Structure 1
Amino acid sequence: MQLRYGMNPHQQAAPAEPVHPGRWPVRVVNGAPSFINLLDALNAWQLVREAHRATGRVAAASFKHVSPAGAALAGPVEAAVAEPYGLDPAALSEVTAAYLRARDADPKSSYGDLVAVSHPVDLQLAELLGTLVCDGVVAPGYAPGAVERLSRKKGGRFLVLEADPELEPPAEETREVLGLRLTQQRDAAELTPALLTPVSGAPLTPAATADALLGLAVLRHTQSNSVCYLHDGVAVGIGAGQQSRVDCTRLAGAKTDTWWLRRHPAVRGLAFRDGVRRQDRINWQIRYLDGDLTADEQGRFAEALTAPPSPLTAAERADWLARLDGVLFASDGALPFRDNVDHAHRHGVTTIVEPGGSIRSDEVAGACAELGITLVRTGLRLFHH
C-alpha cells in the first residue's frame, strides 16, 4: 500500500506493509491514504470494534489527529441533531444514528474527520457522508451502491477503507524513534462489566454500564492524558493529550457544557439567513456560546443572521446547565487530586470511573462521597501514546 506522503507533505512516505504477509487489517477500496489517514483509521477501527464487542451495540467514531472528536453507540437521535442534515430521526439506520450522535458531540472538531463504524456502511450513511466535509471512512463492509456514492466525493479522492473484522492484532507491537526500536505487549485487556463494581455508591444501571464501557474504549484510543464525559451512549466531551489531568478534565467539561447548551432554545432559535452553510451555522452557534466574539466575528455573525440573537444571560446558562444530570466521567489514569472530582461534578457527573491507585485515592473517594458521586475503580490504566 503506497502512502501519499508521511506525517507532513514534505515527508516522503514509504509503502505500508502488513506485519503478517498477505493479511491486511484494512484494504483500500477507493482513494489513497496518507500516513495520518492510516493512523486515524486504524485507531478508530479498533475503538468502534471494541465498543461494539463490549456493549453489543453498533458503534461509531469521528477521528481527528489520532484521537476521537466524538464516539457513540447507536441510539435515539434528537430532532435538534437530525434536522440540520434534513433527516427524519425516526427513519435512521443504526449506523447512521451512531455516527450522527458521534459527530454531534463536537461538530466543530469533526470538520474534516475520518469516520469509523463497527458495521457495514449502508446507503443512508453513504448519502450523509457525501454531504459532509470529511476525509474518509473505515468499516467492515459496504452495502451495494455505497462505495459508488462515496467514490464521487472529493473528485474521486475520498478515502474508503474496508477493515477485516476477523483479524486480531499481533501479541507484540513495535515503534521506532530516533533509531531506537521499542517493543511492548499489545494492550489486549478485555473491557467487560466485571471491571465496573463500585467501591462506593449504587451498582451501575445498564445505561451507565454501556456508557462506562464505551468510555473505556474511547480512552484506550485517545492520546493521554485523556478523560471523557458520557451521557446516554455518547462521549459528549473528550479531553486528550494534556500534560495536566485536571486541565484535561476542565477542557472536556467545557466541551460537555457546549454540547448541552447547543440544545438551549436561544441557540436553536438563531435565525440564519438562507445560504449560510450548515457547518458555518454550527460554528456560529458554538462561538455565540463561547461569548468572546472578536470585532470581526461580531460583524460577520450579524451578517449571517436575519435578526439579532436573543441574549443568553449567565443566569439562564446556569439554569440550563443545572438540568444536565446522569453524566458518567471516565479517566485513563488515576485521579491524583480531588480537584478532578470537583470539576467533573460541575458538569452533571454522577458516576466516576477511574483506575485508582494514586497516593490520594482516599481523598478522591471522600470527595465522591461528599458530592454523592458513585465511584468505580477498574484497576486498569489505559494510557495511549
Structure 2
Amino acid sequence: MPAAPDFPPAPDRVAPKRALISLSDKTGLEDVARTLHDLGVELVSTGGTRAAIAGFGLPVKDVADLTGFPEMMDGRVKTLHPVVHGGLLGVRDAPAHAEAMTAHGIGGIDVLWIDLYPFEQTVASGGDFEAAIENIDIGGPAMIRSGSKNHGYVAVAVDGESIAMIVEALKAGGSTTLELRKRLAARAFARTAAYDAAVSGWFAAQLGDAAPSRKSIAGALAQTLRYGENPHQTGAFYRTGETRPGVANARQLQGKELGYNNIADADAAYELVAEFEAPACVIVKHANPCGVAVGNSLEEAYARALECDAVSAFGGVVAVNRPLTGADAKAITGIFTEVVIAPGADEEAKAVFAAKKNLRLLLTDGLPDPLATGEVFRSVAGGFLVQGRDRSRIAPADLKIVTRRQPTPTEIQNMLFAFTVAKHVKSNAIVYAKDGQTAGIGAGQMNRRDSARIAAIRAREAGEAKGLAHSLAQGSACASEAFFPFADGLLEAVAAGATAVIQPGGSIRDDEVIAAADEQGVAMAFTGVRVFRH
C-alpha cells in the first residue's frame, strides 16, 4: 500500500484557469461554456463537444493541441495521456509535482465536466453486443477518477446538477471551495461506480452467469424519504435504471410525498395486478393483498376487491391494470386510500382524484411483464441475497390432479386465480378465491393451519358484510403457496367452505393429505411449483 505523501494542505479556494469538457449529452453546454469563458477560464474539449463549443463562437482548444497526439483508433485513444492526467492529478503546491508539471509542459486542469458514453441508454434501448461494447467509456471514467482523487484542486462534474453547483460558486465568488470539491468528488466516484456496475452486470448477463464472482448494485437517488419503515429510521429511494414499469418509473401527479411503506406497497400491488389479463384491481395493506378481483370493468373489479376485506382496505394502496376513468376514480375515492397506481388516467379521473389532496396518484404508462427476467435483492448483515424474479405461471395443463374427484372447469379457474394471488402473499400463505375474486387471505403465519384459519375469518366477515348467510369462501378454491406438511391445513380449508385445493405437493406426507382430501370429497391439484414469498 502506498504511503501517504507529505503534501501541503489543499487550498480552500481555487480560481479555475482551465476547464476540460467532454459530453455525450450536450444539454446546457452553451450556457456553461459562455459562463466559463466570460470568467476567463480556458476551454479544452474533444470531438463533437469541441465542435459544438466552437459553433457557439467561443474559443476552444482541442485536447490534441495539449497532448501533441491526434485522436486515434476510432476515438478510443484521445485523453489517455500524461499531459491530461498530469493536469488532473498534479498537486499544485507539492514542489516535486510542480517541478514535473513545469518540466513536461503540463498545465493544470481545474474544472472537469464529463458525462460518459451512454452505455446504460444503449443497453436499455436494445443495442446489440457490439454497440454496447463501443459505448463503454474508458477515458471518461479515468479522467473522472483522476480529477476526483485530486479534489484538493479539481472540481469534477458528472451531471447537470454538478456543473450547476460549480457555475453557481464561480458566479458568486470566482472560485470553488474545498468543501464543494469534496462533495463533487463523492458524486463523481459514485457515478463511475454505478457505471462500472452497469457494465459488469450487463456482461455477466451476456455470458449467462447468474452468480458472478463479484456483484454490484447501483442506483441514482430518486427521493430522500422523511423516514424508513418507522419514524426513527432514515430512508431513501433509489432508481436502478431498470425500465420495468412500476413505482420507480411512475409519474406522481398529486398528493403527499411517497413514504418508504407506500413505495413498497405500491410495488407489491402493481406486480400482482399485472398478472391478470381481464380488468383487475389489487388492494394492498402492509405488503400483503387484502382484496384481489377481476371484473368487466375496473369499477366492478375495484368493488369486488373491496368486498373481500373492506376493513383492511382503509388506508391501503390500490393498483389497477387499465387506465382509470372518472367512474373508476369516484369508486376508489369512496374510502380513504393512500396511493393509487395505474398505467394511465383520463382527465375526468384526474379531476376526481385532485379533490383528494393527500391521495398519491401514480401513472406508469405500462405494466410490468410477469414473465420478464430480472433480479430481486435483499440485504442481510454483511451481505445481500440475489435471486431471479419469480416468473412462474401455472396453466391448466400443468396441474396434476391427485384426488379421486376431478375438479370442474370452474374449480380449475378458481384454483389458478387463487394460486396466482398466493404467489404474491407473504408466507405462509393461504388464499380462498371464487369467480375471479379473493374470498379470504391468510398471510405471514408461522404455520399453514393458522393462515387457513385467518383466511376463513376474513371470508366469513366478508360474507356477513355482504349480508350473506354463508362465508364468501363457500364453494371456493383454496391455494397454498407451499405444500401442506400435514392434513390439518387442508381440513381447515374444507371447514371454511373450499371444494377444491391447489398446492405444490412434495411433502413426505402427501399421501396423508391426499387421503384427507378424498375423505372430504374435495378435488386437489399439485402444481409442482412452490411460490414462497418470505
Deviation by residue 1:347-376 (Cα, 9 ceiling, x = unmatched): 211100000011110000001111110010
SS of the residue 1:145 aligns to: helix
Q: Paired residue for 2:267, among 42, 53, 66?
A: 42
Match of 1:348 in 2: 497
Match of 2:40 in 1: none
AA in 2 matched with 1:165: G
Q: Which protein has greater RCO, CA pairs closer than 8 Å, 6+ apart?
A: 1
Q: 1:15 to 1:330 in 2, by over 3 A?
A: closer
Match of 1:13 in 2: 235
Q: 1:195 to 1:19 in 2, by over 3 A?
A: farther
Match of 1:64 in 2: 285
Q: 1:167 to 1:261 in 2, by over 3 A?
A: closer
Q: After superposition, where does 1:222-301 map in structure 2 within 5 Å?
A: 222-264=425-467
Structure 1: give runs of 5+ residues left out of the alignment.
Answer: 76-93, 266-319
Match of 1:274 in 2: none
Q: CA deviation at 1:164?
A: 4.5
Q: 1:380 to 1:323 in 2, by over 3 A?
A: closer
AA in 2 matched with 1:361: D
Structure 2: give runs of 5+ residues left out of the alignment.
Answer: 1-221
Q: CA deviation at 1:146?
A: 1.1
SS of the residue 2:311 aligns to: coil
Could you tell me how far apart the structure 2 residues matched to 1:185 and 1:363 are? 33
Q: Paired residue for 1:131, among 327, 334, 355?
A: 334
Q: CA deviation at 1:212?
A: 2.0
Q: CA deviation at 1:166?
A: 5.1
Match of 2:520 in 1: 371
Q: CA deviation at 1:38?
A: 1.0
Q: CA deviation at 1:134?
A: 1.0
Q: 1:102 to 1:366 in 2, by over 3 A?
A: same
Q: 1:264 to 1:151 in 2, by over 3 A?
A: closer
Q: CA deviation at 1:127?
A: 1.3
AA in 2 matched with 1:362: D
Could you tell me how far apart the structure 2 residues matched to 1:18 and 1:215 are? 32
Could you tell me how far apart the structure 2 residues matched to 1:143 and 1:36 are? 27
Match of 1:86 in 2: none
Q: Paired residue for 2:253, among 8, 29, 46?
A: 29
Alignment check: 8 A CA contact 1:329 1:353 kept? yes
Match of 2:387 in 1: 184
Match of 1:214 in 2: 417
Deviation by residue 1:264-310 (Cα, 9 ceiling, x = unmatched): 47xxxxxxxxxxxxxxxxxxxxxxxxxxxxxxxxxxxxxxxxxxxxx
Q: Percent of aligned pairs with the same residue? A: 34
Deviation by residue 1:287-344 (Cα, 9 ceiling, x = unmatched): xxxxxxxxxxxxxxxxxxxxxxxxxxxxxxxxx4489742110001100111112211
Q: CA deviation at 1:221?
A: 1.2
Match of 1:288 in 2: none
Q: 1:347 to 1:17 in 2, by over 3 A?
A: same
Q: 1:182 to 1:157 in 2, by over 3 A?
A: same
CA RMSD of aligned residues (A): 2.2
Q: 1:26 to 1:206 in 2, by over 3 A?
A: farther
The range that moved more, 336-345 or 375-384, is: 336-345
SS of the residue 1:15 aligns to: strand
TM-score by length of 2: 0.54
Q: Are 1:158 and 2:359 counterparts?
A: yes
SS of the residue 1:346 aligns to: helix
Q: CA deviation at 1:263?
A: 3.6
Q: 1:231 to 1:20 in 2, by over 3 A?
A: closer
TM-score by length of 1: 0.74
Q: 1:161 to 1:328 in 2, by over 3 A?
A: same
Alignment check: 8 A CA contact 1:136 1:160 kept? yes
Q: Paired residue for 1:117, among 311, 317, 320?
A: 320
Deviation by residue 1:198-256 (Cα, 9 ceiling, x = unmatched): 22245544433332222122111111100011122111100000001101111111211
Could you tell me how far apart the structure 1 residues matched to 2:230 and 2:283 are? 21
AA in 1 matched with 2:437: V
